[in-house]
Amino acid sequence: MILGLIFAVAGLIVLAFAADHFVAGAARIAAFYKVSPVVIGAVLIGFGTSAPEMVVSGIAAGQGDLDIGVGNIIGSNVANISLVLAAAAVVRTIPVDSATLRREVPISVASVIVFALLVQGEITRFEGGIFVALILAFLVFVLRSSSSSDASFDDDVVGIVGDKPVEVGREAARALIGLALVVVSSYFIVDGAERVANALELSGGFVGFTLVALGTSAPELVTSVQAARQGETELLVGNLLGSNVFNSLAVGGIIGLVGPGPVLDTTLAETGSVLMVVIVITSAVFMLIGGSVGRNKAFVLFFLWAVSVVVLSGGDTAEAALTVLR
């Protein structure tokens, strides 16, 4: 089990570092070639920030561990909109602008509901194709509904690209090395998660929901809290909601295409999906009430995340603790 934890934790640390460099390198190259900020923000940064979930879940599904992949998606969605948002809201009240309430909130909620419905029983390649079609439709909608001077994408891109001169060769190497490390570290994460699950007699779905999802959501947690401390909260909610859209549709599509099959952890597929939808809708209602998320709402979101972990553990965590003590 110790080796499994080392693999998982080390893999998650490398994954966070590698994903950041992959996104930054790709975005800076695109900016150098005058690609629209909307395209960079919606496509490159959108896919890039979900790269950890995408690669980890895809590898897990491809190796026959579909439960870990599904658990990672559900766990990441729940963590983003409860744990990460709440942590930032404890530091500073997070405003939610009207454009986000009109566009990102309903699309994010709808994406999560679609994933929850299609993940029941099994995920087929046909359903994987549906997820891919939906994420492509989402990207087309974003590109058509956003002007080339959309300030939200401009701010996102400037934050990653910066204002220093771009050396294409250097940034290409940075992006390729980052991508390679994302893939390699993901193998270690999946292997480590399998070892921990087997050693503690936990379901792969529960380990995916907790250990793996918390790890792949750690970059969002750190950057969101840092943004709240610096008062740069304008894009925070939109980024988290967008991440959930990509997790549900893009990552859902990947696991459906590369590793279709039954979801063996029925508690995860049924109860976990319901909890995910309830928490996402609760968070959306909090955003609609008053147009912000403050400390009182944050504590409720913390509580809901903790409840989801306890409910999905089904007593497994107590048995795991006894296993460790023995």
Distance CA 264, CA 268 (A): 9
pLDDT at 181: 84
Pairing state of beta strands 292-293 and 261-262? unpaired
Cβ atoms within 10 Å, residue 310: 10
Distance CA 281, CA 267 (A): 20
Residues 39, 40, 44, 46: is their CA dihedral positive or negative? negative
What's the whole-number mean pLDDT along residues 5-21? 77
Right CATH number for 2-325 from 3.20.20.70, 1.20.1060.10, 1.20.1420.30, 3.30.470.20? Answer: 1.20.1420.30
- In this prediction the pTM is 0.82
pLDDT at 147: 54
Alpha carbon 150 to its chain centroid, in Å, reads: 24
Indicate the range of 84-93, 233-242, 269-278, 284-293 predicted with least confidence: 233-242
> 66-77 b/e with 16+ CB inside 10 Å = b?
bbbbbbbbbbbb
Residue 312: is its pLDDT beyond 50?
A: yes
Q: Please tell me what DSSP assigns to residue 260.
A: -
What's the whole-number mean pLDDT along residues 33-45? 61
| Comparison of pLDDT for 256 and 230, the residue scoring more | 256
Q: Which of 241, 219, 174, 210 is nearest to 305 (CA)?
A: 210
What's the whole-number mean pLDDT along residues 78-91? 92
Q: With DSSP H G I counted as helix, E B as strand and the rest as coil, what are the percentages for the chain, rounded to 5?
A: 80, 0, 15
Main-chain phi, psi angles of 242, to 5 degrees = -65, -40
pLDDT tier at 137, thresholds 50, 70, 90:
very high
pLDDT at 323: 45
Mean pLDDT of the chain: 81
pLDDT tier at 38, thresholds 50, 70, 90:
low
Q: Are 255 and 128 in contact, with CB atoms under 8 Å apart?
A: yes
| Comparison of pLDDT for 117 and 152, the residue scoring more | 117
pLDDT tier at 24, thresholds 50, 70, 90:
confident
What's the whole-number mean pLDDT along residues 151-173? 64
Distance CA 93, CA 114 (A): 30
Residue 143: is its pLDDT beyond 80?
A: no
pLDDT at 213: 87
| Comparison of pLDDT for 87 and 196, the residue scoring more | 87
Give residue-wise pLDDT tens across range 290-311: 888 999 999 999 999 999 999 9
pLDDT at 281: 96
Q: Residue 67: what residue type?
A: D
Distance CA 30, CA 67 (A): 36
pLDDT at 169: 85
Give residue-wise pLDDT tens across range 181-240: 888 887 788 888 778 877 877 788 888 898 888 888 877 787 788 778 877 676 778 778
| Comparison of pLDDT for 259 and 18, the residue scoring more | 259
pLDDT at 325: 37
